[in-house]
Each structure stands twice: as C-alpha cells, then as structure tokens.
Amino acid sequence: MSKFISWKFFLSIVTVLLLVAPKAKAEGEYAWPASYKGVMLQGFYWDAYDDASWESLTAQAAELSAYFDLIWVPNSGQSGSNPSMGYNPVYWFTNHNSSFGTEDQLRTMISTYKQFGTGLIEDVVVNHRNGATNWYDFPAEEYNGKTYQLGLDAICSNDEMANAAGQPKPTGKPDTGDNFDGCRDLDHTNPVVQENICAYLDCLKNDFGYVGWRYDMVKGYAPEYTKIYNESAKAQFSVGEYWDNYDNITSWIDRTGRTSAAFDFPFKYALNDAFKYYDFSKLLWKRNGSIDQPAGLVHMDTYQRYAVTFVDNHDTYREGGKFTGDVEAANAFMLCSPGTPCVFLAHWLEHKDALKNLIAIRKSAGISNQSVMEVLVNTQTYIVAKVTGDNGDVYIKVGRDNSYIPAGYTADDKKAGNGLYTIWTKVAVKDLEENRAQLSFSPDGGTYIGGVTVKISIDNAEKFENPSIVYTTDGTTPSLSNGTKIKSGESVAISESCRLQAVAFDGDKIASGIKSAIYRTTADPIEVYVQKPESWSTINLYAWVETQITSPWPGDKMTETVTVGGKEWYHHKFDQSVKYVNVIFNNGTDQTVDIKDLELGAYYFTLDSDSGKSITVTDVTDDFAGVEGIEAGNTSVSVYPNPVTDRLCVSASKDVKAIYVYNASGALNAQAYGTSEINLESLDNGFYIYRVVFTDNTAAQGKILKK
C-alpha cells in the first residue's frame, strides 16, 4: 500500500471524525454548576395544596430566599384531574392553572423569587402524558407561533392501553424504559416527541422563567434523551429522579453525557439505616476501597457535583422509605456533606429554627457540592468528620458520644447540636435574614367597628437606600405594578372589612415577604366553620365563656352545613351578645384541644387528626379572607348563562363587591372585583363553585357548568 494517502480519502476521514466528534461543550455545562454553594428546598409534600400553593410560597419569598437558592415546585401545567399533584399532565404550554394556583399566581411567584435571587425548578413530567378527555387526545398548543401536538404515533406500542378493546392502537416504538401505568408512555425515539419536549423546556425557561427542572421518573426512558433535551434547552440546573442503587444511578448520569445531576437515593437510605439501627458507621462508604466518605453518590469525587442529597421527598415521606430517625441530626449531616442538599418542606415546617441555623453554618463556612470531607472517627457508636469550606473548617459529630471535641476547639465553638449530633466551627455564622426588610402593621389585624387607621412601617428602613411600601386591600398581590405605593410609616384608612397585604421595596427591588392581616369593621357575630373528619359519624360543639353556653358535655350536635370554597363545612353562629368564646369540637370520644378566646367574626378550622383527646387544629381563616363575617348562601342572586362558555354575569339588587370561582377541590381559579361579570373563558370544562360577595358583606353561592 502506498505510504501516501489520497486527499479524497483524507477528507472522508476528517468528515467522519467531525460527524462523530463531541460538541465543543464543557463537561456538565448543562447539568449542575461545579463548586456550587447553593441549598435547595423541595417546596411541597404530597397533597400540600395549601402549604405549597403559589400564593403561600410567594408570601414566604423573603424568608425562604434568605436560605434557599433553588426551590423545586410541583408541575405547574394543568392536569387531568382535580386535585392533582401534577404527575398526570395534560398541558405543557398554554394552560398552567393547576391545583396549586393560577398561571398569574405562578408567574408572580417566579418573578418574586427572581428578584430575591432564588431560582424556581419545575417538576417536569415527560415520561408520560394524559389526554384531555380520553387516553390519547393530547391537546394542540401554540408556542412561539408554532402549533405542537402529539398523536397515536407518540405513544409507545407496548403501553398498557395498546390492546384495550374498542380503542385505537398506539403506533410508536416500544418503550425504552420502565412502563408507567397511570398515563400514556411517550415514545422518546420519535423526533416529533423530542421536538415537543425541547420546545416545552424552552417555554418553561424562557417564557415562565424557571431556572431548571427536576425530571420525574427518568427510568421510564433511555438517558440519552435527557441529554438531547438538556443540550437543547440549556438549563443551568437539571436533576433526575432515578430511584435505584449507586451503580445504576451513576450509569444514568454518565449516559446523559453528564448533562444532569441525580438525586442521591443511596445517601438517603444510608441515613435511614444508620438512624434506625443506631449504627452510624453506615453513614460512610469507602472511596477506592480505603478512604472513608459520606455514603452515596457523594462518596466519589467524580460524582459529588452531580449528587443532590436529601433526607426525604414527597414519595419517600408517604411510603415505606420515610425517614424515622432524628430529623435535625440527619439534616445536619447532609448540610455538612458535599453534594447539593435538598431540604424537604415538611421537615422545614417542623424544624425551621434548627434548619435555619444549619444552613447558615454551611453558607458561612462556604461549603460547596465539591468540598473536601475528611473522616476522623468511624465507629458504630459515632462518627466525626471535618469538611473544609472556602471560608473555614466545620466539624460534625453524629452519634451517641458526648465526650469528643476537636483538638483546639472549645465549647464556645459549638454552633449547633442535640443529643445525636454536634457541630463546631470557628467561622462566624452570619444572620442570613439581616438584609431583609421587616414590615409591621399597627394595629395588626382585628375587629374595629366603623373602621380603623393602620400604620404600615418598615422597622429596619434605615438599612435601605430608597425604601417604599406597596399595599392592596382587594385580595390581589401587591407589586410595583399593582397596589398603592406609600412611604414607611404612613397610614392607611380601612373603612370596610378586608385583607390588607403589603410588601416592601428598595427602589425597584423587592425587599420583604408579603405581610398580611385581616381587618373587620362590622360587629359580625362569632361564627365557626369546621371540616368534620370522614371517620366521625357526628361532630359536636362544646362552648363556654365563664361557664358553658351549650348543652353539657359533649355539647350540641352540629347539623348545619355550608359550602365555602368548594368544601363542606359544619357551621355554628353564636348569639350577637357573645363577644368572645372558647370551643371544643368532638365526636363524644375524640376531641380537639381547647380553642380559646374567639372574638367577633368568622373562623375556619381543620382538624389535624381524627383520634385522641387533644387533637390539634389548623386555623385556615386567612384562606377565606374575602368571606369572613358572611352568612354563606343566604342571599338570593341569579347568574347567567349557566352553562357558561366565556363570561358569567350576575343579576342582583345589590352592588357586587367581588366574584370568586373555585374548582371542585376548593382552589380559587378566577376572581373579579367591583363588576357584575367575570371572564371564565380560560377555565377547563367542568363544574365550578361561584361565590358573589356584595358591598354589604352578604354573599351567595352555587354551582355552574363551564362548557
């Protein structure tokens, strides 16, 4: 053979090399940042429709953003049932009215957190999809001037509906991963499916403003497709739910081209075992067979960057994998380890003060997802490790030894701990909330017959260059483009019952969370509304002031029910002469705690349990701020047309103050103020509850059908 190579042959070789060569992209560019110091919050748990609603999370923006750099929220697209956690999605582009709130509320939440420097991560469900009215009719949706729609060829040929009698057969290729029985498994080999998903992610990032996503059930399709989607959308943050062992998860990360991080399930299950058996050596694995490191993906420096560690998530918390040990100690170990820690909302709500301190320690020390950890003690009884952050060292002990203290450290260096863990550091721990504006109302809510003047102040206004306040009284969210702007210390006249909401700004930057309070200006009698546990056959009300004002224990049987917010409530109205009262709800055997000092107005309660002698209750009155002091259903009103297609009109002899429309699960879907009609064109077809509030604070409600 000639030692000379023809130019044609040389060019053909170059062409082949160019075709197969990887793109000029840094490893992990579209996955998770290197040396990332952020902390993530899973901002929901299963059925957390109240705690994780867009309005609830928006109201907590100042507090949460001080500690969390990323917040993972449920899928925001409209799903095929109500209520829904979003794992049966129907819409990707055009309908983001979900069980957690409206699209407007969603966009307000994302933009509010963006102003605080915190990114929102969407729970993306692309393994499977629901039809709009049947199992395969995916809606046609328009985005950026193009219509996107999937047909039968987008459904895997071995989907469980493939052999359903009397139904058309899907024509896609066989599934490239595990089957999902609840919806239609999408054929990710189909270029049209890929195009739809890439456009969907682009919409989430560039239209809605999400900074990344958590891919649901990535075991359902081959990991190479995640690589396609991430390189198309170029999100800064991508994390997959690959519920499996270390080898399979790391293989998945590699097969995505390291374009995605993954949740560290082995780390979570090491926590479970260590605290269940009190064998804290289970928290550690051997790197390369010799070096002690925290268990899970994070034990290998190769994968620390791509590991998102957690103690519980929405699935494990309600299933067999729930963590049952010391929550504070487990989170302490996670927050002192490499990897990106993801705190679970239920743990945050139960252990907020402790978790705030632990996150402040991590951030003050400058610990990142690739920080070096050195294990100093490894026994069944306890372990000790030193993690080196950019700003200094942090020592953590987990276990039952009370005598250990790091060399050169004293009790003054202890920054956190309980009976199962201790943290020492010489780094000064920062107050992460010191730069947030603190709003106050004076007086802070209550009943003021005839009206009240409320002073709204920024208590630490001296810290800001250009402080101001924006407030609303009509139930809408205050922002720079909505509400009345005032200076700190100015007063607002309240002449009728309302919910006052305010937020502080420094120039055009949001500086506080939403402060809210209810003011009542009429002497409404005391009313109580309560949801009866399904396991109770009856519910009784026992009430007293100085002495009982109901029948002797167990009191009076509650029989009157009303529907408010799409939910049934047992209702009792006290005599106008009763100015304050104490109550207990019970079924003759099980009972709530004493609910004391109820004053004039309406109160809504849900029971936190259905058994026991001291059941706690949750006061959800603020969720019904627009209807306090109103006798539900006692005002005559007609609405038309019913069924409604676009605009619903109200006919009544009284002036309309507000119209509210709720779905069957009680979520507020639409609202209008100072008008006798409301636009419902964007709502899905189905039954809804309307509630009309009049200017004299009476109200009427009923059902409508949207067609």
Backbone φ, ψ for residue 395 (5° rounding): -105, 135
Q: What are the residues whose beta carbons fall under 8 Å from the beta carbon of 122, sequence distance 6 or more?
A: 73, 75, 76, 204, 208, 210, 212, 213, 214
Closest CA to 85 of 99, 106, 71: 99
- pLDDT at residue 28, rounded to an integer: 62
The CA angle 404-409-415, to the nearest 5 degrees, is 85
- pLDDT at residue 624, rounded to an integer: 58
Contact at 8 Å (CB) between 490 and 502? Answer: no
- Boundaries of every domain in the chain: 439-520, 527-615, 638-706
Instruction: Report the distance separating Cα 24 and Cα 251, nearest Å.
Output: 22
The band of 663, judged by pLDDT with boundaries at 50, 70 and 90, is confident
Residues above pLDDT 90, as percent of the chain: 69
Do 638-706 and 527-615 fall under one CATH topology? yes
Q: How many residues are there in the chain? A: 707
Averaged pLDDT of the chain: 89
Work out the average pLDDT over 109-132: 96
Q: Enter the pTM of the model.
A: 0.74
Angle between helices 327-335 and 265-277 (to 10 degrees): 140
pLDDT above 50 for 645? yes
Q: When comparing pLDDT for 629 and 45, which is higher? A: 45
Q: Which of 33-37, 76-80, 185-189, 296-300 has the lowest mean pLDDT?
A: 76-80
For the stretch 331-373, pLDDT in tens is 999 999 999 999 999 999 999 999 999 999 999 999 999 999 9
Instruction: Report the distance separating Cα 509 and Cα 161, nearest Å.
Output: 51
Contact at 8 Å (CB) between 371 and 387? Answer: yes
Closest CA to 590 of 573, 570, 607, 567: 607
What is the sign, positive or negative, of the torsion defined by CA atoms of 44, 48, 54, 57?
negative
Q: When comparing pLDDT for 288 and 640, which is higher? A: 288
The total of other beta-carbon atoms located within 10 Å of residue 599's CB is: 13
Instruction: Report the distance separating Cα 127 and Cα 48, nearest Å.
Output: 23
- pLDDT at residue 665, rounded to an integer: 54
pLDDT above 70 for 514? yes
Q: What is the CA radius of gyration of the chain?
A: 28
Helices marked H in 386-476 = none
Contact at 8 Å (CB) between 84 and 48? Answer: no
Contact at 8 Å (CB) between 296 and 274? Answer: no
340-344 and 40-42 beta bridge pairing:
parallel
Contact at 8 Å (CB) between 622 and 517? Answer: no
Tokens 């075709």 found at: 19
Per-residue buried b or exposed e for 9-36, using 16+ beta carbons within 10 Å of the residue's own CB: eeeeeeeeeeeeeeeeeeebbbbbbeeb
Q: Which of 381-390, 519-528, 568-577 has the lowest mean pLDDT?
A: 519-528
- pLDDT at residue 565, rounded to an integer: 63
Question: What strands lie across the sheet with 439-442, from one edge to the other?
Answer: 439-442, 452-458, 491-494
Tokens 């490790």 found at: 385
The total of other beta-carbon atoms located within 10 Å of residue 482's CB is: 12
Closest CA to 94 of 211, 207, 223: 207
Question: What strands lie across the sheet with 567-573, from one edge to the other?
Answer: 561-564, 567-573, 527-530, 602-607, 617-619
pLDDT above 60 for 537? yes
pLDDT above 80 for 25? no
CATH superfamily of 638-706: Macroglobulin (MG2) domain (2.60.40.1930)
For the stretch 159-217, pLDDT in tens is 999 888 889 999 999 999 999 988 999 999 999 999 999 999 999 999 999 999 999 99
For the stretch 122-142, pLDDT in tens is 999 999 999 998 999 999 999
pLDDT above 50 for 294? yes
Helices marked H in 278-410 = 314-318, 327-335, 345-350, 352-365
- pLDDT at residue 19, rounded to an integer: 38
| One-letter amino acid for residue 335 of the chain | L
CATH class of 439-520: mainly beta
Q: When comparing pLDDT for 446 and 243, which is higher? A: 243
The total of other beta-carbon atoms located within 10 Å of residue 232's CB is: 16
- pLDDT at residue 484, rounded to an integer: 97
Work out the average pLDDT over 435-444: 94
Q: Which of 316-320, 408-412, 564-568 has the lowest mean pLDDT?
A: 564-568
CATH number for 527-615 (one of 3.30.420.140, 3.30.390.50, 3.40.50.2020, 2.60.40.10): it is: 2.60.40.10
Give CA separation, 353 vs 75, 228, 365, 416, in Å. 29, 42, 19, 11
The band of 677, judged by pLDDT with boundaries at 50, 70 and 90, is confident
- Using DSSP's 3-state secondary structure scheme, residue 12 falls into helix
| One-letter amino acid for residue 452 of the chain | V
Q: What is the 3-state secondary structure (H, E, C) of 461-479?
A: HHHCCCEEEEEECCCCCCE
Contact at 8 Å (CB) between 124 and 186? Answer: no
